[in-house]
């Protein structure tokens, strides 16, 4: 059974590693619109977008909307996205000028592109209450602590690596200090060894995946489908540009 165009687009774009392209502004992370648009056009050159007229709210704030269509041949898919014009503190700006509206349009376009999969995880926490975000930044939950200790005790290197991607470096670093007195040095060494093992295992997986792509082995490629998303992204990030393009072509041929 052929997969849908929507799934093909998502599977293609969400595998692109954007980590080196993420920039920070205040509490927000974002991608350069030019880079994101360039990647989208590289995979789907027929894509296009259209901005709606800015929506002026009664309180003086302004909302931007964009309709983004990803196309390939007779297949197409459209997502709409919106974004308020914001000040340097990420609060809605009153009576924004043309420059602010222009900048927001491009940020809105980048967010729309994320709806198709490219860097979507950057926006994963933006709709959480501020109190929840503060809690995440300041500490860790008992569940996270228990999971961390269990993975270390099991010697599960890929499991520990995946856990780190999920909780983030700040919480992960804090959890290093939760071992009992007298066991901290030994367990920190154990964690370091597991991290080295994870890097080696990911490199081996990427090499095997690349071999499948080079051999045009679609069955071999599909065997990697059950890995966690972050592992698949890490594997994809270790492919060379030619292999990434060939993988995209293999997915298109399967549709």
Are 254 and 144 in a shared domain?
yes
Final residue in a domain of this structure, among 82, 102, 127: 127
Q: How many domains does the chain have?
A: 2
Q: What pLDDT score does 3 carry? A: 66
* Residue 120: Cβ-neighbour burial (10 angstroms; 0-12, 13-18, 19+): middle
H-type alpha helices, the chain: 5-13, 33-43, 98-114, 130-138, 142-154, 157-167, 169-175, 184-214, 218-222, 229-237, 241-254
| Residues in CB range of 114: below 8 A, 6 or more apart | 31, 36, 120, 122, 123
Q: What pLDDT score does 26 carry? A: 56
Residue 123 forms part of a structural domain? yes
Residue 47 forms part of a structural domain? yes
Residue 224 forms part of a structural domain? yes
Asked whether the whole model's pTM tops 0.85, one would answer no
Are 92 and 152 in a shared domain?
no
Q: What pLDDT score does 172 carry? A: 85
Are 157 and 72 in a shared domain?
no
Are 103 and 173 in a shared domain?
no
| Residues in CB range of 211: below 8 A, 6 or more apart | 217, 220
Residue 117 forms part of a structural domain? yes
Dist CA 38 CA 198 (whole Å): 32
Are 60 and 175 in a shared domain?
no
Are 22 and 113 in a shared domain?
yes
Are 100 and 19 in a shared domain?
yes
C-beta of residue 173 within 8 angstroms of C-beta of residue 134? no
Q: Which domain holds residue 218?
A: 139-255
Are 98 and 197 in a shared domain?
no
Final residue in a domain of this structure, among 127, 151, 178: 127
Residue 233 forms part of a structural domain? yes
**pLDDT tens track of the chain, all 255 residues?**
456 899 899 989 988 877 777 776 655 667 888 999 999 999 999 999 999 999 998 888 999 999 999 999 999 999 999 999 988 777 888 999 999 999 999 999 999 999 999 988 777 655 444 444 444 444 677 788 889 999 999 999 999 999 888 878 778 888 888 888 888 889 889 999 999 999 999 999 999 999 999 999 989 888 888 888 888 888 999 999 999 999 988 888 876
Q: What pLDDT score does 121 carry? A: 73
Residue 194 forms part of a structural domain? yes
Q: What pLDDT score does 124 carry? A: 61
Are 82 and 153 in a shared domain?
no
Are 122 and 3 in a shared domain?
yes
Are 152 and 100 in a shared domain?
no
Are 116 and 148 in a shared domain?
no
Residue 132 forms part of a structural domain? no
């Amino acid at each position: 059974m052929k997969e849908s165009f929507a799934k093909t687009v998502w599977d293609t774009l969400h595998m692109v590693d954007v980590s080196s392209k993420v920039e920070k502004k205040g509490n927000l992370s974002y991608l350069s619109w030019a880079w994101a648009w360039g990647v989208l056009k590289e995979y789907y050159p027929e894509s296009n977008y259209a901005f709606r007229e800015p929506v002026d709210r009664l309180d003086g704030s302004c909302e931007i909307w964009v309709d983004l269509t990803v196309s390939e041949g007779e297949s197409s898919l459209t997502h709409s996205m919106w974004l308020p014009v914001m000040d340097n503190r990420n609060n809605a700006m009153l009576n924004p000028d043309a420059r602010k509206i222009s900048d927001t349009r491009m940020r809105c376009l980048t967010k729309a592109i994320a709806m198709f999969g490219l860097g979507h995880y950057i926006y994963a926490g933006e709709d959480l209450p501020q109190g929840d975000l503060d809690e995440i930044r300041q500490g860790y939950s008992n569940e996270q602590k228990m999971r961390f200790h269990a993975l270390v005790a099991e010697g599960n290197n890929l499991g520990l690596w995946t856990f780190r991607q999920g909780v983030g470096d700040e919480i992960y670093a804090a959890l290093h200090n939760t071992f009992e007195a007298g066991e901290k040095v030994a367990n920190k060494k154990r964690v370091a060894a597991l991290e080295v093992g994870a890097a080696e295992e990911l490199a081996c997986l990427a090499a095997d995946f690349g071999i499948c792509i080079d051999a045009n082995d679609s069955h071999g490629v599909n065997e990697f489908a059950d890995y966690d998303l972050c592992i698949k992204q890490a594997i994809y990030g270790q492919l060379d540009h030619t292999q990434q393009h060939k993988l995209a072509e293999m997915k298109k041929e399967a549709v």
